[in-house]
Amino acid sequence: MKKLVIGIGVQLGSSAVAIILAALFLPGFHLRFSGFLTAIIVFTLAQSLLVGLVAKLATKYTPALAGIASLVSTFLALVIADFGFGGININGFFTWMLAPLIVWAVTALCAVLVPRYVLKESVTN
């Protein structure tokens, strides 16, 4: 149970960091404080659910693309989070192309580094 709570916390935290970084680097990526927490929760939940579905569909229909399932699920989760929750607003073609890359890279990096270096003692117990 403890590992599950830590895992959820790492996912939420890494999603928040990734989205904040995307907003800092991309001029068409806007955050609003009023809906930020909701957008982070929606994004994290959508991304967690979509990664398995996209991977399964990719493996079944286009096995060569199964490796990018996580990137595709990140893009789709950003679309869902941008849809109408008020925290994230993404405008522009290049922003839509670069935002999933930034968010995917940061969340992947956090998923590897945070448990290894920051939560070393908590995860092993």
Domain ranges within the chain, ordered by starting residue: 2-124
Other CB atoms within 10 A of residue 88 CB:
25
- pTM higher than 0.85: no
Please answer whether residues 34 and 49 qualify as being in contact, where contact means their C-beta atoms are separated by less than 8 angstroms. no
Question: What percent of the chain is helix, strand and coil (3-state, nearest 5)?
Answer: 85, 5, 10
Please classify residue 12 by burial: count the beta carbons closer than 10 Å to its beta carbon, then call 0-12 exposed, 13-18 middle and 19+ buried: middle
Per-residue pLDDT of the chain (125 residues; tens, 9 = 90+): 777 787 888 889 999 999 999 999 999 999 988 888 888 999 999 988 888 788 788 777 777 776 788 888 899 999 998 987 778 999 999 999 999 999 999 998 988 888 777 766 554 55
